[in-house]
Amino acid sequence: MSLNDAVTVTITDLTDKGDGIGQLDGRTLYVSGALPGEQVQVRLHGVKPKYAQGELLAVLQPSPDRVANFCSHDECGGCQIGILDYAAQLRLKRQRVQQALAAKGLSAEVAACLGMEEPYAYRNKALYAVQATANGAELGFFRKQSHALVRCDDCGIQPALTAELVATVRDWLQTHDIAGYDEAAHSGTLRYLMLRDGRLSGQWQLVLVTLGETLPEVADLLARLARFPQLHSVVQNINPQRGNRILGFSNRVLLGEEGIHDTLCGLDFYLTPLAFYQINPPQTSVLYQQALAACGLGGDETVFDIYCGIGTISLCLARQARRVVGIELVPEAIDAARANAERNGLDNTEFHAGAAEAVVPALYAAGYRADVVVVDPPRKGCERIVLETMLQMAPRTLVYVSCDPDSLARDLAYLTAHGYGLQSVQPVDMFPHTLHVESVACLHRWE
Ligand code: SAH
């Protein structure tokens, strides 16, 4: 087997980046654009002792689940499984959760993944990188596993107005020769364009992330944006730091307010540029309803919402419980959670800023107890001390909302080994056409 050989291979699985996996002469072969069950012809490159990359030349026998990509931007790295039929995507996601649980010896039934009826234009947030090129500033998404840009104004998972706003900003940048960001030199004016819409409020926000304080020709930009009455907020966010962090900490309002409103589960939320907010509004309602139902609230409970963000789940819980205690690392998110609670008249809530691994044990030591605990941690899952303290609190019900099946399985294995029974696992598709899968797991304490 050597470089540039054309070979035929059968694809048996997908990596978590969405590349097809096959076996050839004892090597694992990775083929971008190939699906499980397919026989494909590939040209080899990157041949190593244990693995090789294959460039897809032809699909000799297509998977019955192969469809034409719903989006015209094949080269974009944003969606990994746009060529897989949506029903098959949902089956794959359920299978991923099942496999992760099985790998930890958990045998719970995993329900069918709850998908969208119309899995397009679902995102309420877009982030375009702005780069310096020979032809002036360019805006786009990153190509697969690279920081090279792909122009993607009419992204298939963004609402239609996105394309018009991106084109308007590009035109303004190029007219005035305003520099895009040069990552290597850490220079330039504009680093990112972020767009966010309140799906039910109809309010839009446009954020220009700049390297420094300077942003020339703002008056002309605002004049160009005047034809979009949906824009309730135009903000300059300043991020002088090197690295992959997108937003800096300082905001300057250029038009309207610093934030926009949105309605979620019948509650009003105010979203400033730095606020974490789930990106798929209809599926967020589905996810939260699943979490809420799993809590089985009767109205008299104290509920902990750990990793609460701006308090979206907490406030849903607060309508059905006696008292809700929210815990979150980012202090600004806690300020937002308190303001959101007040805005919605939910005064049976309290919020604590700090790392869960410090705050939860401190609250327990101070005498706090919970009847029900909801956790919604980042991808790495819960710190062991958080799980241990939860066990000490001995809530009757634990609801684990997870964006990573592997860390979910690890934490569920710990909880089920310490007095809790796994009742149900419900995957929810928050990110159609990508390999991400969100799940809600419900556990009950053995009596
Ligand atoms: N439940 C919220 C947020 C979930 S995202 C929602 O549905 O919108 C996970 C949250 O965990 C983020 O807000 C992140 O800031 C927070 N977080 C990350 N590490 C944390 C830690 N060690 N302690 C507490 N919160 C943390």
In this structure, are residues 69 and 82 in contact, taking their beta carbons and an 8 Å threshold? Answer: yes
Task: For residue 63, name the pLDDT band (cuts at 50, 70, 90).
Answer: very high
* pLDDT tens digits, 37-54: 999 999 998 889 999 999
Q: Which CATH class is domain 89-117+280-445?
A: alpha beta
What pLDDT is recorded for position 5? 78
What pLDDT is recorded for position 1? 66
What pLDDT is recorded for position 147? 82
**Per-residue pLDDT for 427 more than 90?**
yes
Find the angle CA(403)-CA(235)-CA(231) to the nearest 5 degrees. Answer: 85
Q: Long-range contacts for 129-135 (Cβ within 8 Å, ≥24 apart)?
A: 129/181, 129/191, 129/192, 130/173, 130/180, 130/181, 130/188, 130/190, 130/191, 130/192, 130/193, 131/180, 131/181, 131/182, 131/183, 132/179, 132/180, 132/181, 132/182, 132/187, 132/188, 133/180
Q: How many other CB atoms are found less than 10 A from the CB of residue 36?
A: 17
Q: Average pLDDT over the chain, rounded to whole?
A: 96
CA pair distance 62, 36, nearest whole angstrom: 9
Is any atom of ligand 1 closer than 6 Å to the C-beta of 279? no
Task: For residue 148, name the pLDDT band (cuts at 50, 70, 90).
Answer: confident
Task: For residue 11, name the pLDDT band (cuts at 50, 70, 90).
Answer: very high
What pLDDT is recorded for position 46? 84
CA of 355 to the centre of ligand 1 (A): 9
For 6-61, CATH number out of 2.40.340.10, 3.30.70.580, 3.40.50.970, 2.40.50.140 equals: 2.40.50.140
* Residues of the binding site: 278, 307, 328, 376
CA pair distance 284, 272, nearest whole angstrom: 19
Every domain of the chain with CATH number 3.40.50.150 lies at 89-117+280-445
Average pLDDT for 61-79: 91
DSSP H or E segment with residue 163: helix 161-175
* pLDDT tens digits, 359-406: 999 999 999 999 999 999 999 999 999 999 999 999 999 999 999 999
Q: How many other CB atoms are found less than 10 A from the CB of residue 212?
A: 11
CA pair distance 388, 410, nearest whole angstrom: 14
Q: What is the DSSP letter of 124?
A: S
In this structure, are residues 211 and 187 in contact, taking their beta carbons and an 8 Å threshold? Answer: yes
Residue nearest atom 13 in ligand 1 by C-alpha distance: 309
Residue nearest atom 12 in ligand 1 by C-alpha distance: 309
DSSP H or E segment with residue 145: none
Instruction: Say which of 155, 295, 403, 442 is annotated catalytic.
Output: 403
What pLDDT is recorded for position 8? 95
Is any atom of ligand 1 closer than 6 Å to the C-beta of 331? no
- Written as six digits, the tokens of 427 are 């995957």
CB within 8 Å of 358: residues ≥ 6 apart:
none
CA of 42 to the centre of ligand 1 (A): 42
**Burial class of 64 by CB neighbour count within 10 A (0 to 12, 13 to 18, 19+):** exposed
Every domain of the chain with CATH number 2.40.50.1070 lies at 125-262
CATH number 1.10.600.10 is the correct assignment for the domain at 125-262: no
What pLDDT is recorded for position 217? 97
Distance of CA 302 to the CA centre of its chain: 29
- Written as six digits, the tokens of 196 are 């966010």
Task: For residue 293, name the pLDDT band (cuts at 50, 70, 90).
Answer: very high
In this structure, are residues 206 and 193 in contact, taking their beta carbons and an 8 Å threshold? Answer: yes
State what percent of residues in the chain have pLDDT above 90: 91
Q: Is 71 a catalytic residue?
A: no
**Per-residue pLDDT for 252 more than 90?**
yes
Q: Which of 414, 423, 419, 429 is nearest to 441 (CA)?
A: 423
* pLDDT tens digits, 266-279: 999 999 999 999 99
Every domain of the chain with CATH number 2.40.50.140 lies at 6-61
Q: Which of 115, 112, 146 is nearest to 129 (CA)?
A: 146
- Written as six digits, the tokens of 193 are 């364009």
